[in-house]
C-alpha cells in the first residue's frame, strides 16, 4: 500500500515537472495557439459546411476553412493595422509640430473650460495635447513593435495557420483525448467544453462583432463628414464601444465639437444624426441578436475582463480575459452540481 502511494506521488511530481517544462517549450507559441483555438471555435460552422461540400474529406475541408479565416480575418487586420500605424504617426507628428490637431485640442479645451464652473474637477488644468500625445505614443510603441519584427510576425501567423488547420482536421480527436484523461465525469467535461464554446462565440460574435461594426460605421461617418484620421478614430471607437452605456459617444461627441468649432455646423449636425441612427442603434438591435447565440455575460464584467486580460496577458488578453471569466462561471456551475449531487446521496 505504501509502495503504491510512493509510486503515485513520484508520478505526480514527475508529471508536474514535465508539465512545467512543456509549458516553457510551447510558451513562444502560446498566443498563436490560443488564437487558433478561438478561431477554430468561431469558424466551426464554416468547417462543417466545408465538410459537406467536400463529402467528409477532412484534410480538404480543414484547408478550405483555414483559407477562409486567412481571407476574412488575417489580411484585413494586417491592412487595418498598417493604416492605423500610418494615421497615428501622422497625427502624432501634427501634435508635436503644432498643426491642425493642436487647433482641435484647443477648441476642446475651450469647451471644457466653459463647463469648468459646473464641475468640481479642475477641468481648466486638463492638457488635451499632452494626453493625446501620451495615448498616441503608447499606440505607436505597441503597433510599431508589432510591425517592426516582420520575421517574428510572419512566423507567428504561420504557426497560427498550421495550428488552425490541424484543429479543424483533428480537433475532435484532441477533445476526446482530453475527456478521457480528465478525472471529472465525461458529462462535466462536455459541459466545460460547451460553456467555453458558448463563451468564445458570445465574446467574438457578440460583443466584439458589434464593437467592430460600430467602429467601422464611425470611421465611415467621419470620412463622410470630413473628420481627419477616420480609420484611427474608428479603431478607438471600436474599443470604447465595449464600455457599457457610453460607448462610441466618447469618440463621436468630441468629433462633433471639432466640426462645430471648425465652422462646419451642418457637418456637425449630420455626424450627430449618424452617431445616433447608424452607430448607436446597432448595439440595441444587432447586439442582443448576436449575443443570444452564446453565453450572455454582463457587459461590465466583459469590459473588466478585457482590460484586465490586456494588462495581464498583453494584446491577446482581450480574448483570454472573457474566456477565462466564462471558464470560471462554468467551473462554479459544475462545482454547484457536484455539491448538490453529494448532498442528495
User: What are the domain boundaries of the chain?
Assistant: 29-181, 183-345
Show the cell assigned to 47: 468547417
CB-CB neighbours of 325 under 10 Å: 20
Q: What was the pLDDT predicted at 93?
A: 62
Query: DSSP secondary structure string, 101-125?
Result: HHHHHHHHHHHHHHTGGG-SS-GGG
Q: What was the pLDDT predicted at 99?
A: 47
Decide: helix, strand or coil at residue 213: helix
Q: What was the pLDDT predicted at 7?
A: 79
Mean pLDDT score across all residues of the chain: 75
Q: What was the pLDDT predicted at 101?
A: 47
| pLDDT 10s digits, 306-339 | 778 877 877 667 777 877 887 787 778 777 877 7
| pLDDT 10s digits, 7-65 | 778 888 998 899 899 888 888 888 888 888 888 888 888 999 999 999 888 899 999 99
Residue among 334, 325, 213 nearest 279 (CA) = 213
State the DSSP code for 280. I
For helices 265-274 and 249-261, what crossing angle results, to 10°? 170
| pLDDT 10s digits, 88-123 | 666 656 656 654 445 555 555 555 555 455 455 554
| pLDDT 10s digits, 233-265 | 788 788 777 766 667 777 888 888 878 887 788
Residues 6+ apart with CB under 8 A from 256: 268, 271, 272, 275
| pLDDT 10s digits, 147-205 | 555 556 677 788 889 999 999 998 888 888 888 888 878 887 787 788 778 777 777 77
pTM for the structure as a whole: 0.67
Amino acid at each position: 500500500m505504501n509502495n503504491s502511494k510512493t509510486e503515485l506521488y513520484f508520478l505526480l511530481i514527475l508529471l508536474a515537472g514535465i508539465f512545467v517544462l512543456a509549458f516553457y517549450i510551447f510558451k513562444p507559441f502560446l498566443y498563436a495557439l490560443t488564437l487558433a483555438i478561438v478561431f477554430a471555435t468561431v469558424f466551426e460552422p464554416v468547417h462543417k459546411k466545408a465538410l459537406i461540400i467536400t463529402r467528409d474529406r477532412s484534410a480538404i475541408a480543414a484547408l478550405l476553412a483555414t483559407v477562409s479565416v486567412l481571407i476574412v480575418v488575417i489580411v484585413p487586420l494586417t491592412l487595418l493595422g498598417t493604416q492605423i500605424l500610418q494615421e497615428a504617426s501622422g497625427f502624432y507628428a501634427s501634435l508635436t509640430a503644432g498643426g491642425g490637431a493642436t487647433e482641435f485640442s484647443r477648441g476642446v479645451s475651450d469647451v471644457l473650460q466653459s463647463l469648468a464652473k459646473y464641475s468640481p474637477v479642475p477641468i481648466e488644468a486638463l492638457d488635451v495635447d499632452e494626453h493625446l500625445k501620451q495615448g498616441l505614443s503608447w499606440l505607436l510603441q505597441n503597433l510599431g513593435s508589432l510591425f517592426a519584427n516582420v520575421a517574428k510576425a510572419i512566423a507567428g501567423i504561420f504557426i497560427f495557420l498550421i495550428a488552425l488547420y490541424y484543429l479543424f482536421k483533428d480537433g475532435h480527436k484532441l477533445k476526446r483525448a482530453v475527456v478521457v484523461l480528465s478525472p471529472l465525469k465525461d458529462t462535466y467535461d462536455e459541459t466545460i467544453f460547451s460553456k467555453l464554446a458558448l463563451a468564445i462565440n458570445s465574446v467574438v460574435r457578440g460583443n466584439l462583432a458589434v464593437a467592430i461594426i460600430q467602429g467601422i460605421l464611425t470611421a465611415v461617418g467621419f470620412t463622410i463628414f470630413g473628420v481627419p484620421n477616420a480609420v484611427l478614430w474608428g479603431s478607438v471607437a471600436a474599443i470604447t464601444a465595449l464600455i457599457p452605456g457610453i460607448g462610441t459617444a466618447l469618440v463621436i461627441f468630441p468629433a462633433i465639437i471639432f466640426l462645430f468649432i471648425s465652422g462646419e455646423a451642418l457637418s456637425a449636425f449630420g455626424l450627430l444624426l449618424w452617431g445616433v441612427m447608424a452607430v448607436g442603434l446597432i448595439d440595441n438591435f444587432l447586439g442582443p441578436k448576436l449575443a443570444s447565440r452564446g453565453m450572455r455575460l454582463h457587459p461590465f464584467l466583459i469590459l473588466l475582463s478585457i482590460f484586465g486580460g490586456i494588462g495581464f496577458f498583453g494584446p491577446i488578453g482581450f480574448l483570454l480575459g472573457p474566456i477565462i471569466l466564462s471558464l470560471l462561471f462554468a467551473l462554479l456551475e459544475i462545482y454547484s452540481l457536484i455539491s448538490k449531487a453529494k448532498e442528495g446521496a
